[in-house]
Amino acid sequence: MDATELKSLQAPLKELYRQDGKSALITLKAEGRIGEGVTCSVETARAMVEAGLHPATGGSGIHACSGDMLLQALVACAGVTLNAVATALGLDIDEASVRAEGDLDFRGTLGVAKEVPVGFRDIRLVFDIKGKLTDEQKASLIKLTERYCVVYQTLRSPPPVAVDARWS
């Protein structure tokens, strides 16, 4: 896809959203069901993913780890966003890869050290990009990728998360 094709795909959507801001508000959903052996099955667009405990918390390692899935979502979103920005700007990228790493202290998750927070301490997002770009183009590509990557922005400025338990 080139910049012209991308812009022609997005132009009617942008116009609609300018005219009717409410039409741009979409609710994405994910649903899972708990299963055997401390697992939860989550349906994705392509397949059912069975998530389980990470080996550092007693898991077998055969199930997906939700922490890994969070980093994978960040990589996927950042990669798609980088590609879209490069395409829209007509930047010539030969190839690019995206990697996310996150540090966890499982003492918090297992409740063995109350002073240790549960969750990622640090997350690093790394782009390896090959292409003939000026320094200005490189800076713009990364700046706009950060700006428009939904998962990155959600992690940087988390929204309120409401929990509702329904009993039957």
Instruction: Enumerate the domain spans of the chain.
Output: 32-64, 65-157
> In the predicted model, is pLDDT for residue 151 greater than 90?
yes
The secondary structure of residue 64, as a DSSP letter, is B
- Rounded Cα distance, 125 and 36, in Å: 34
Predicted confidence at residue 34, as pLDDT, reads 82
Q: Are 34 and 63 in contact (CB under 8 A)?
A: no
Crossing angle of helices 66-89 and 3-19, rounded to 10°: 100
CATH superfamily of 65-157: K homology (KH) domain (3.30.300.20)
CA neighbor of 116 nearest in space, from 125, 124, 126, 106: 106
Residue 135 has a pLDDT of: 95
Q: Where are the alpha helices (DSSP H) in 56-158?
A: 66-89, 106-109, 135-148, 150-156
pLDDT digit string (tens) for 18-76?
999 999 998 888 888 888 888 899 988 888 999 999 999 999 999 999 999 999 999 99
pLDDT of the residue at 97: 93
